[in-house]
Amino acid sequence: MGLFEFLLPTMSPSSIPASSHPASHVQVVTGRLAALRQAMRRAGVDAVLVPSSDPHISEYLPPRWQGREWLSGFTGSVGTFIATQDFAGVWTDGRYFTQAEAELAGTGIALMKIPSGASTLYVEWLAAHLQPGQVLAVDGNVLGLAIARLLAGALDSKGVMLRTDRDLLDDVWQDRPGLPAGAVFEHEAPYAATSRADKLATLRTALARQGATHHFASTLDDIAYLFNLRGADVNFNPVFVSHALIGPDRGTLFVADDKVPAALATRLAADGITVAPYVRAAAALAELPPDTVLLLDPRRVTHGTRQAVPRQVKVVEAINPTTFAKSRKTDSEAAHVRATMEQDGAALCEFFAWLEEALEHRHDVPLNEVDIDRHITAARARRPGFVSASFATIAGYRANGAIMHYRASEGQCATIAGDGLLLIDSGGQYVGGTTDITRVVPVGAISDEHRRDFTLVLKGMMALSATRFPRGTRAPLLDAIARAPIWAAGVDFGHGTGHGVGFFLNVHEGPHAISPALPPDPHTAMEPGMITSIEPGIYRPGQWGIRIENLVLNRADGTTEFGEFLRFETLTLCPIDTRCIDRALLREDELGWLNDYHATVRARLAPHVSGAALAWLNTRTQPL
């Protein structure tokens, strides 16, 4: 099986979008909710909380842990489900309001709107609505440690008992999926330029600085990075379900049986890594000797994991050292990403050339949004090093573009005809890097209002892309730079401006993010080598959505008497459609930035394309 097949997404029954369910969807959800309430009564539980989480604090979940989606029918990637005997609700943020309203309609489950995915307003709701002596149940094995502490503090003062030893989903989810069974494979040189042994040595040096002898990691991208391994257990993310325990001399990788081929296990053993059954992770923690000093990241382990650590073991709480290490791409990794961007950009030239021709001539069977996903993925699949999409393509025409995390499906998608804007947010996983790009193209005739909004978004993207800033600047503080041109017009957007991006890893990566929802903590400091998206937007519900997104790399930009400075190197290579621009709204320096960017795009991509794709590239990169 080739790498492309490894990461192609699979749809479990629990992960099928509600829009594709038959008319009985409401009855299915209400039936599951009724069964849950019966299980609650049998267990003596007054309320149940089901987070969007797994034992690894993952953003995108393997089917086994998609319980919130299975119970509620809400398919967004962020949400918290709470049920009592007389109430049920899903807490989610503005990216999903329209989607959640549609998917929860008629189920009796309320949409509880929150300002961001990081919000903990549901904790306040529980403290306000549960009565002294009542019991809240949540599976401690998927409850983040930081949230568990927040919950305990809020509920203890009210006399409410928090039970974390019971997963009621097991009582009602009769065909619950098991652990993923796909094989683990090695991310090899030249792409993995730093050896596993060197990464382990760097980790142990970081542990010594913290006074720790051992480290336990659960986050899947940290483990994949540390061991130079990849897998296919999570749609679009090349990771595998596992835990890792690293000691002074040896380490253990806890993974399901038969996932690590024998030859790979031998190579791991040569680097001091033993492969053990996934279910042994908690027991291994419980068996740590009393003189152990264990480093745990409270934001990246669960309450259940912390409970397994013996009381005699000293615990140092600090961010996973690998979280910092993998965010700071080496020069070799950055070079591979640049080469990958050229291949990805060439694929996009082929796609957009096809799209424009199809929009002009395909009138018998008009295009729809699902066609966009199919063709853009096929264009990438023809490029060397391609593995899979890096997330589900968002192709939103007209009003659908205003739904930030819109997902078209067969039978539930817009036809791309007439006049309007088409937003396309897509990306690829390549062995040499991970891509993520959003472009907006005109279909038919567009209005002055379309051009005004598009140009404001472009101004915001360019403003941040051109920014020079001191090394160590907290990433969230940069957000306002991209918003300023949009705010000046009395407009705003309801998501962060940028997220970190992995190296053939998760398309969303910490510890940094350019977002007002993220506290400007020390670990969010911008350092050389970090890759981040810049993606401001404007969304007018029921009308259109606009987002323009490039990935950028933090580069050193000199030292003054005030310290070291950084700048952004734009990595993404794809024209920005100048047909959507209101030229009168651009300053000369902004026009210069755009023309210089397009000249770079043309020079870097032209050697990789020919024919219609090359003609499209030359047309779309003409200077304004």
d(CA 522, CA 495): 22
- Residue 488's Cβ-side half-sphere holds a number of Cα atoms within 13 Å equal to 12
For 308-318, the pLDDT digits (tens) are 999 999 999 99
| Predicted pLDDT of residue 147 | 94
pLDDT at 524 over 60: yes
For 472-522, the pLDDT digits (tens) are 999 999 999 999 999 999 999 989 999 999 999 999 999 999 999 899 999
The Cα-based distances of 127 to 132, 149, 577 in angstroms read 10, 14, 50
Q: Cβ–Cβ contacts within 10 Å for residue 319, how many?
A: 17
Share of the chain above pLDDT 70, in %: 96
Please report which confidence band the pLDDT of residue 409 belongs to, taking 50, 70 and 90 as the band edges. Answer: confident
Please report which confidence band the pLDDT of residue 363 belongs to, taking 50, 70 and 90 as the band edges. Answer: low
For 30-77, the pLDDT digits (tens) are 999 999 999 999 999 999 999 999 999 998 899 999 999 999 999 988
For 224-265, the pLDDT digits (tens) are 999 999 999 999 999 999 999 999 999 999 999 999 999 999
Comparing C-alpha atoms, which of 258, 250, 199 is closest to residue 225? Answer: 199
d(CA 591, CA 579): 14
Comparing C-alpha atoms, which of 323, 340, 359, 509 is closest to residue 427? Answer: 340
The Cα-based distances of 466 to 52, 334, 498 in angstroms read 36, 19, 15
Please provide the average confidence, as pLDDT, over all residues in the chain: 94
For 550-596, the pLDDT digits (tens) are 999 999 999 999 999 999 999 999 999 999 999 999 999 999 999 99
pLDDT at 4 over 50: no
Please report which confidence band the pLDDT of residue 1 belongs to, taking 50, 70 and 90 as the band edges. Answer: very low
Comparing C-alpha atoms, which of 255, 575, 603, 564 is closest to residue 440? Answer: 575
pTM for the full predicted model: 0.93
Structural domains of the chain in order of their starting residue, each with its CATH number: 3-172 (3.40.350.10), 185-319 (3.40.350.10), 331-618 (3.90.230.10)
| Sheet strand arrangement including 550-560 | 468-470, 563-570, 550-560, 531-534, 498-500, 509-514
Q: In the predicted model, what is the mean pLDDT of residues 438-462?
A: 98
| Predicted pLDDT of residue 23 | 53
Q: In the predicted model, what is the mean pLDDT of residues 252-279?
A: 97
| Predicted pLDDT of residue 95 | 80
| Predicted pLDDT of residue 22 | 47
DSSP string, 17-31: -GGGS-TTHHHHHHH
